[in-house]
Each structure stands twice: as structure tokens, then as C-alpha cells.
Amino acid sequence: MNDEVRTNAFPSHPQRHVVPAVVCSILLATACGRFEAVRPGAVRIPTLLRGEPSVQVSKLDNGLTVLIRESHANPIVTLDVWVNAGSMNEPPEINGVSHFLEHMMFKGTKRRPVGKVDLEIESVGGETNAGTSKDFTHYYVTVASDYVTTGLDVLSDVIMNSTLDPQEMERERQVILEEYRRKQDSPFSLAYDLICETAYRSGPYRQSVLGTTESISNLTRAQMTDYYQRYYTPDNMVLVAVGDVKSEEILPQIQRYFGRYRRTARPFDTLNLQTRWAASTSRVIEKDLRDTYAVLAFPAPGIERTRDTVIMDVILTILGEGRSSRLYQRLREKERLVSGISAGYGTSKKPGLFVVVATLEARNLDAMRASVLAEIRRVRDQRVGGRELAKARKIIINEYAFANETTNGQSDTLGLYYTLSGSETYERAYLREIARVTAADVRRVARDYLDPDKAVMVTLRPTGGDKAGGP
């Protein structure tokens, strides 16, 4: 699911496009065409998904969008506020403010002193959490449905009235700086930042979600408060409620707690949101490591190319999902070039990246790159077989089911895709779109995006190691 800070920087299949509940044909206009009805017999949507409850979409007078999905299997409800702002909305001098602010939001409000927010939710057996990505920030509480008003009271207070206490800010600054230092020692997390920095010449996704040492150290409370007031506004947020609730009962409660929130979004007008790709290049960084880590990146579609994002998920599954994938079978099992290999593709608003990630010995770098590019060319130039395509579609459908077993999982899915696309129809139509992906679709999208001549590679290599594979 995007490069959310609370998750692995190179998300596995469920996090990259683990998508949404679909049980009926929904038309969705896109830059590439429309979502259409699935052909009879293409792929069977599991019974549990055909029975998925619908989503009620409402908008309060203050502009807050509300998504409600009733799910009465367990007496639990998740309340999840999605803010349409992440690191892509940050000027370079305050890079990291979205994530820093996420740390601060549970650190006290006008009504609740430091420590009271978490304590109040935990006292009714609930939990709180949050996450930040390049595209969004979100905050959720999960409570027993008997305590839904407690959840609404606390969450609305956090979102509307956080005090951004100066002393707490200095404590959290040290926590985040330590998080930054740990990231430098985490090969895949560091490699993700480096591949974004290298693959994008400019644009919204070039800078890190976490920020830099300088931007974290120099961020002032006034700058954070300004950012908070600019983006944490009802017209720039979505509230998702999933669980053991009745729509007609919870909507007035949401109005009671969130309806008095009055503020209008004021985005920065100096942001560079136009993606420009870098030329094909290789970058090698030496670090104190035992293994070599390599990442190859290719351009990939953003959600405005709706149909292409769905097809790219199928390509991802064919190339890099699990031990039966093409890359694993060739590079790990047959050629023994790597100790591990996978692929990733994160759903995003703007054009993103398709990445191949490998762990190997430095002496195998050139051979690894050649084999990966050979597999990329094969999916571009040769028709995918019917059995392999059916397997990929089945994997995606099953992983969707697993990821949406809980109210948290469903709120993640609903909130993510509404925030990215601006509509619930993407989420509702996704699985039926997976079911109608054809071999011709796979070949077209692979040719449109996965160009070997545009590949960018970043390598983290042991200091003083074998120099094979260098630039």
C-alpha cells in the first residue's frame, strides 16, 4: 500500500495494490477508457466477496467526506481519518513535516493533556495507530462497537484540536532523528529513498517521507502549525467507518463530533507536482554490509491511468510474486544469481515506480541485471499463457480477501483508494477489473511502461567488496 512509514518500504503484494471489494459492474471513466463488465467465465469472484456490503458515501456541510461500511461479523468498529496530504505536499525546506506531524497528533489536545488520548482509547480496550506516505496521512482508532462514541470523540478531538505541544515536539524530534538513523542502517529502506531520488529528475515523489537530517532538525513549531492548518481541513479529508454500526445511526454521531470542524484547505502554491524521469543510470553506494542489495526501477502508472494500474498488478504478480514467479524461478532457482528477489508496485496518485529488488553477491550484479531485463523483455514481447494469467488473477483475489478480513483491513482499502482516486467506484470495481485482464492487456502495459532502456539501478554494496557490477 504505497510507501507508508508504518509498513515495509518495499511493500509486498497486499500493500501495493491489494484492492477492493467488488460485486457489481461499475462504470468508471479513466484516461485509458472505462471499467466494464467482466466477460462471463473469465474468473470466478469468491462467494464471500460477492456478498460484500456496499459503502454509503455522504458529505457533511463542512466538506468532510464520510464512507460507511456495515460489517456485523464481530462487535468492532474502525474509525479512520484520511488526510489528503503527504510528503508530496511538502516544500523541500520542511520535508518530513507530514510524518513529524503524525507523531505529534496523539500528543495532547486542548481537552486532553499529553498521554490522555491513548489512555482513553486503551481504557475501553481499543487501539490507535497512524501512517504517513507520499500521498496521504491517516489516523485510526478501533474499538468495540459499544464504545463508538468514545472513538469518535477522541479521534475528532485529535484531528481538530491537537496542541502541538513545544516540549513534546522536541522529544519527538529526537525520536524521529533516531528513526532516520535506523533507516540509514536498513538496506531496503535506504535503497527505496535512493531509488526515488535517482529515478525521478523532479516531481512529487522524489523526496523522502521521513525527511532529511537538516529538515527534521530545523523544522519549527510555526511551520508545523501552518502545515497543519493548511491541510488538516474537513474538505481535504475522508472519514471511513467500518464495522458493527448502522449507517443511519452513526452518521448523525459523526455529524455531532466532526460537523463543527470549520477550516478550508490552503495548499502551497509553489509545489512541483510534474513528474520528470531521470535518464537510465546506475548508482552504487558502499556501506558496512554483508550482502549486496540492488533495486531496478521502471516508470509505472499513477491512478489517473486507472485501467493500467490494474493490469500492472497482474504483471507484478507474474514477474515477482512468490516463489513461482518468473523472476524467482529464473534468478534464484535456475541461475542461482540471487539469494532473494521480488517486485513491487505502489498505487499512487501520480506516475510511480515498478521496482525489482534483489539480494545477492556483488560479483553477480551484471548477470542479475541482464537476467531481470531479459524477463522484462519476455513479458513485453511474448504472450502470457492462459494458465499463468489465471494463476496471477487468483493470487490477487485471494490476497484481497485475506487483507480485508478485519475492520482495519477494510478501512485501509476503502480509505486508500478513495483518497487516491476521489471516488468509491475504483475500490468497488477493482476485482472485476482483475478478472477481465487479458494477455493482450499485459503485453500492452508492459510495453508502455517497462522499457529496459529506461531502467534505473541503485546498488548498496559491502565496503571494499568485489567491484563487479559498478558503473
The model's confidence at residue 445, banded by pLDDT at 50, 70 and 90, is very high
Give φ, ψ of 196 to 5 degrees: -65, -45
Better-scored residue on pLDDT, 307 or 53 = 307
Better-scored residue on pLDDT, 284 or 273 = 284
289-325: pLDDT as tens digits: 999 999 999 999 999 999 999 999 999 999 999 999 9
pLDDT at 13: 31
C-alpha cell at 158: 485529535
The model's confidence at residue 52, banded by pLDDT at 50, 70 and 90, is low
pLDDT at 464: 75
As a whole number of angstroms, the distance between CA 225 and CA 314 comes to 42
Checking if the pLDDT of 237 tops 60, the result is yes
Provide mean pLDDT across the span 63-80. 96
Closest CA to 447 of 439, 436, 459, 457: 439
Degrees, nearest 5: CA angle 453-455-458:
145
182-197: pLDDT as tens digits: 999 999 999 999 999 9
The model's confidence at residue 125, banded by pLDDT at 50, 70 and 90, is very high
- Half-sphere exposure (Cβ direction) of 51: Cα atoms closer than 13 Å: 6
Checking if the pLDDT of 40 tops 50, the result is no
255-272: pLDDT as tens digits: 999 999 999 999 998 888
Checking if the pLDDT of 15 tops 50, the result is no
Domain ranges of the chain: 40-258, 276-462
- Of 50-59, 85-94, 119-128, 141-150, where does mean pLDDT reach its minimum? 50-59
From residue 157, give the alpha-carbon distance in Å to each of 31, 136, 295. 39, 20, 42
Mean per-residue pLDDT over the chain, rounded: 88
Provide mean pLDDT across the span 203-225. 97
The model's confidence at residue 21, banded by pLDDT at 50, 70 and 90, is very low
What DSSP designation does 24 have?
S
pLDDT at 54: 86
Give φ, ψ of 341 to 5 degrees: -155, 140
Burial of residue 454 (CB within 10 Å: 0-12, 13-18, 19+) is middle
What DSSP designation does 145 have?
G
C-alpha cell at 76: 468492532
User: Do 276-462 and 40-258 fall under one CATH topology?
Assistant: yes
C-alpha cell at 184: 540509514
351-398: pLDDT as tens digits: 999 999 999 999 999 999 999 999 999 999 999 999 999 999 999 999
pLDDT at 333: 98
Contact criterion met (CB below 8 Å) for 242 and 405: no
Q: Which residues neighbour 63 within 8 Å (Cβ) at sequence distance 6 or greater?
A: 233, 234, 235, 236, 264
Provide mean pLDDT across the span 21-33. 24
Checking if the pLDDT of 283 tops 70, the result is yes
* Percentage above 90 pLDDT, the chain: 84
From residue 469, give the alpha-carbon distance in Å to each of 85, 118, 212, 335, 373. 39, 50, 29, 17, 15
**How many of the other CB atoms lie within 10 Å of CB of 101?**
25
Collapse the DSSP code of 354 into the 3-class scheme (helix H, G, I; strand E, B; otherwise coil) and give the result. Answer: strand
Checking if the pLDDT of 453 tops 60, the result is yes
Give φ, ψ of 462 to 5 degrees: -55, 140
Task: Among 1.50.10.20, 1.20.1070.10, 3.30.830.10, 3.10.20.30, name the CATH number for the domain at 40-258.
Answer: 3.30.830.10
The correct answer on CATH 3.30.70.20 for the domain covering 276-462 is no
pLDDT at 53: 66
The model's confidence at residue 347, banded by pLDDT at 50, 70 and 90, is confident
C-alpha cell at 375: 524477463
- Which of 151-161 are b and which e, b meaning 16 or more Cβ less than 10 Å from the residue's Cβ? bbbbbbbbbbe
As a whole number of angstroms, the distance between CA 64 and CA 236 comes to 7
**How many of the other CB atoms lie within 10 Å of CB of 27?**
10
Closest CA to 447 of 352, 383, 368: 383
* Residue corresponding to grid cell 479529508: 237
- Of 34-43, 342-351, 399-408, where does mean pLDDT reach its minimum? 34-43
Q: List, in sequence order, every residue forming a beta bridge with 300; answer none if it has no partner.
A: 352
What DSSP designation does 454 have?
G
3-state helix, strand, coil in the chain (%, to 5): 45, 20, 35
Q: List, in sequence order, every residue forming a beta bridge with 457; answer none if it has no partner.
A: 282, 296
90-115: pLDDT as tens digits: 999 999 999 999 999 999 999 999 98
As a whole number of angstroms, the distance between CA 49 and CA 408 comes to 17
Checking if the pLDDT of 413 tops 60, the result is yes
pLDDT at 28: 22
pLDDT at 7: 29
Provide mean pLDDT across the span 447-458. 96
From residue 379, give the alpha-carbon distance in Å to each of 108, 333, 436. 52, 19, 18
